[in-house]
Every structure is written in structure tokens, then in C-alpha cells.
């Protein structure tokens, strides 16, 4: 199959691929064995974005497979929707004694946030929209829980305390997205540089936040090569970005060079042992077996355990100063993932086909029905008490790294 013919137009094979991809379907021929390593390497180094199909897959078979898969998921959709409430009721009854103990004796977490200053501009929809979420310097709001931590704020406070008054503190937000964390560091007095391949998301962040109330506006770049080669940064943020990189070693080596000798690299990455990550890994490997690779930067492509993440950072010369885990096992796996994975696997394909009729944009609201806030608050208290035993299976890794 040739994507672009000699005449410069798109072939009908390629048009089918693009149409099917936009319909959020999985279009490819089911091959009986894994792809050859050299063929995967050729895809990884291809200078293209989005879907990279193989040349030797027949789109007639792709179309047939698409119809069969859509028929299967559509048949399972009503069964899943009917069985999930029953499963939820059984799980709630099993957890009821422990939830009662958490309600009576375990302490409740109290959260007070300082929201950013907004301009009143209504932002457009962008990937990874976090305009009104908490900064990951302090926590994250997910699974109907307000998770908070102090591992990053403690590192930044120590850095500012040791810095001289004459020195200007510089920070780089790698994978800045909508500039939520960029704004938070600018509010702390840092001279900011934001780097993200999606320039539109960063420009929306410029319009949304009131930058006249912080130290300065950030400098926006879309590539690491656009950074000033002479500038070193005291703080580099890499929040939930490394798991999206096909070659994280190259990026970590570049961040190591840009980090000041006394600076810190603050990293958050998911835990490959969590159920959500295992599901993402299954879908990613299924795409590779079937002949295409999504290079849009949205799906996860790195699935590592906490020990494997530590080995990766040490192999690039970093020293791990501090490490913590966030997003508890019971909330993340025993509740959210138990229902979220089945909804995304069997219900999403059917609902996505009806988006234009019923205006269903995502499954977030449906998933939230199975993780009500009042129940998740009690489960979170159990998570905090059981953290010494289940910490390795929590959903997110938080790292403070130095050179």
C-alpha cells in the first residue's frame, strides 16, 4: 500500500485508513505473529505522525475485521451495561464493613487550594485539558478524589532557600500542555520556559491565565532544539509526559544536559502494575501486532514498574533524591479500573458511533457513576492506612531527581 501516489494525491487505501481512524476504530489485518523487530524499529524512526500502516496489509481484510469487531463490541455493550450495576452492588456489600470502619475511625483529608487567576476567556477543547485542575506540584484531582502531596513543593522550597538573592531562578516545563504547572511556577517567581509539541494548547493557556499577576510570561517553544543552548534550568518539570515518548532515553539525556548542577528534575509517571496501565499496554501491543503505530503523542507507550523507572533514570546519570507513590490501589484498581476498563473496551466503541446523535463526548460521566465521591472518600482513607503494604501497586510514581 502506498500512502501518497505519484500524482501527489491520497490513494483510496489511505483514505480508508484515515476515515477509519477518525471513527476511533482499530483498522488493520490481524496477523498471526508479532512484528519483526527491524520493522518496528523502522516505524519508530519514520518521520511521520499519526497512524503509520504497513505496506503489505490488505485493506479489504481490514474492513472485514472492522465490521466483525464492531459487531462483537455492540453485542457485548448491553450485557456490560446491565452487569456492571450488579457487580458494583456486590463489591459495595463486600467493602461495607471496612467502609464503616473508615467512616468512624480513620481521619478525613482536608484540602485547601489557591486557584490560579483567570482572564475570563473561555478556552477551546484541547488534549489533556487541566485549566481548572490542581497543579501537579501539589496534587491531582482524579477518581473523584483530591490527591495532594508535598514531595515537589518541598524540593522547590529547598532550592529557593539555597539560592542567592541575586540569582535568577529559571524553570523548564517539558510537556507543558495547557500551562497549568507553568503558571504555578511563575507564581513562585521562576522565569519560565514551556515546551510542548502542541503549540495550540500552550497558546490557549496564555489566553486563559492572568499572566500580569505573576513574575513574567513564559517563553513558548515546540521543540527541545529551540531552547537556548547556553541556558541551564534550576527546575525542570516532566509531569505525565515520559510515558508518551517512544525513545525516553534520548529525551532524558537532553534534560540532563539542560539541568543546572544544583537543579532538580521533577517527574511523575504511571505505574505499569496498575490495571489501567495493563489495559493500555494490551491495546498498544495489539496495535503493533496489527500493523500500525500511533505517533500522535496521546497514548501511553512506556509501561514500567517503579523499579524499572528507577533503573531508567539511573541509567541516564540521574540520582534519585526522593520517590513517592500516589493514587491508591483500592481506588484506582479495585474500583475505578474495574469498571473503567470494561466501559472503555465494550461500551466506548458503540457510544462513539452515536456521538453525533446523542452528543456523548466521553465516558467520564458514565465512569463517575460507578465511583461516587462519598464512597471514594472512604476507600481513599483505607488506601492511606494500607499504603505501607500496597504502595508498590499505587497508580503513579513521583520522583525528585538530581544530576
Segment 196-221, tens digit of pLDDT: 999 999 999 999 999 999 988 999 99
Q: Is 239 a domain residue?
A: yes
372-399 mean pLDDT: 95
Q: Tens digit of pLDDT for each residue in 340-373?
A: 998 888 887 777 655 545 555 555 678 888 999 9
As a whole number of angstroms, the distance between CA 124 and CA 67 comes to: 34
Task: Count CB atoms within 10 A of the CB of residue 194.
Answer: 30
Cα(15)–Cα(282) distance, integer angstroms: 27
**Of residues 285 and 194, more confidently modeled:** 194
Residue 360 lies in a domain: yes
Describe the strand order of the beta sheet including 233-239 as a list of residue ranges.
Answer: 219-221, 191-195, 170-174, 233-239, 259-270, 396-402, 319-326
The pLDDT of residue 61: 55
Residue 27 in any domain: the answer is no
Calpha distance 315→376 (Å, rounded)? 38
Residue 336 has pLDDT above 50, yes or no: yes
How far apart CA 221 and CA 202 sit, in angstroms, is 9
Cβ atoms 253, 224 nearer than 8 A: no
Task: Name which of 156-170, 228-242, 246-260 the model is least confident about.
Answer: 156-170
The answer to whether position 343 is within a domain reads yes
> Is residue 150 situated within a structural domain?
yes
| Residue 180 confidence (pLDDT) above 60 | yes
**Does pLDDT of 181 surpass 60?**
yes
Question: Between these two residues, 102 and 47, which has the higher pLDDT value?
Answer: 102
Q: How many domains would you assign to the chain? A: 1
pLDDT at 33 over 80: no
- DSSP annotation of 118: B
CATH of the domain at 345: 3.40.50.150
Residue 390 within a domain: yes
pLDDT given at position 163: 76
What percentage of the chain carries pLDDT values higher than 90? 56
Answer yes or no: is 19 within a domain: no
The whole-angstrom separation of Cα 350 and Cα 122 is 31
Within a domain: residue 9?
no
The β-bridge partners of 142 are 145
Bridge partners (DSSP) listed for residue 264:
235
Mean pLDDT on 307-325: 97
Q: Domain span at residue 327? A: 63-402
C-alpha grid cell for residue 361? 463526548
- Please say if the pLDDT value at position 102 is more than 50: yes
- Cα distance from N-terminal residue to C-terminal residue, the chain: 47
Amino acid at each position: 500500500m502506498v500512502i501518497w501516489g505519484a500524482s501527489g494525491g491520497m490513494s483510496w487505501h489511505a483514505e480508508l485508513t484515515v476515515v477509519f481512524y477518525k471513527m476511533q476504530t482499530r483498522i488493520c489485518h490481524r496477523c498471526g505473529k508479532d512484528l519483526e523487530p527491524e520493522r518496528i524499529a523502522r516505524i519508530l524512526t519514520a518521520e511521520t505522525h499519526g497512524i503509520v500502516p504497513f505496506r503489505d496489509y490488505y485493506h479489504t481484510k481490514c474492513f472485514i475485521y472492522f465490521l466483525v469487531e464492531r459487531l462483537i463490541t455492540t453485542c457485548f455493550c448491553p450485557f456490560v451495561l446491565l452487569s456492571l450495576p450488579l457487580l458494583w452492588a456486590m463489591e459495595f456489600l463486600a467493602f461495607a464493613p471496612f467502609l464503616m470502619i473508615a467512616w468512624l475511625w480513620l481521619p478525613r483529608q482536608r484540602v485547601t487550594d489557591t486557584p490560579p487567576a483567570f482572564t475570563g476567556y473561555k478556552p477551546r477543547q484541547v488534549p489533556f485539558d487541566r485549566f481548572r485542575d490542581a497543579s501537579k506540584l501539589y496534587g491531582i484531582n482524579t477518581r473523584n478524589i483530591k490527591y495532594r502531596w508535598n514531595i515537589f513543593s518541598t524540593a522547590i522550597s529547598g532550592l529557593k532557600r539555597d539560592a542567592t538573592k541575586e540569582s535568577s531562578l529559571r524553570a523548564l516545563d517539558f510537556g507543558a500542555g495547557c500551562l497549568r504547572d507553568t503558571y504555578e511556577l511563575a507564581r513562585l517567581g521562576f522565569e519560565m520556559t514551556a515546551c510542548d509539541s502542541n503549540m495550540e494548547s500552550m497558546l490557549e493557556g496564555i489566553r486563559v491565565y492572568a499572566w500580569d499577576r505573576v513574575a513574567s510570561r513564559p517563553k513558548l517553544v515546540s521543540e527541545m532544539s529551540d531552547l537556548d543552548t547556553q541556558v541551564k534550568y534550576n527546575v525542570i518539570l516532566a509531569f505525565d509526559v515520559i510515558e508518551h515518548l517512544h525513545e525516553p532515553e534520548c529525551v532524558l539525556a537532553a534534560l540532563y544536559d539542560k539541568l543546572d548542577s544544583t537543579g532538580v528534575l521533577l517527574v511523575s509517571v504511571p505505574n505499569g502494575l496498575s490495571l489501567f496501565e495493563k489495559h493500555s499496554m494490551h491495546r498498544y501491543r495489539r496495535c503493533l501486532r496489527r500493523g500500525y503505530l500511533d505517533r500522535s503523542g496521546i497514548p501511553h507507550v512506556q509501561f514500567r514498574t517503579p523499579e524499572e523507572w528507577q533503573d531508567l533514570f539511573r541509567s541516564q546519570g540521574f540520582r534519585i533524591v526522593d520517590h513517592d507513590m500516589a493514587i491508591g490501589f483500592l481506588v484506582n484498581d479495585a474500583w475505578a479500573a474495574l469498571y473503567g476498563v470494561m466501559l472503555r473496551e465494550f461500551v466506548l466503541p458503540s457510544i462513539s458511533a452515536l456521538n453525533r446523535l446523542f452528543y456523548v463526548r466521553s465516558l467520564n460521566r458514565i465512569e463517575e457513576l460507578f465511583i461516587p465521591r462519598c464512597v471514594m472518600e472512604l476507600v481513599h482513607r483505607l488506601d492511606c492506612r494500607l499504603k505501607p503494604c500496597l504502595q508498590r501497586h499505587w497508580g503513579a510514581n513521583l520522583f525528585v531527581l538530581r544530576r
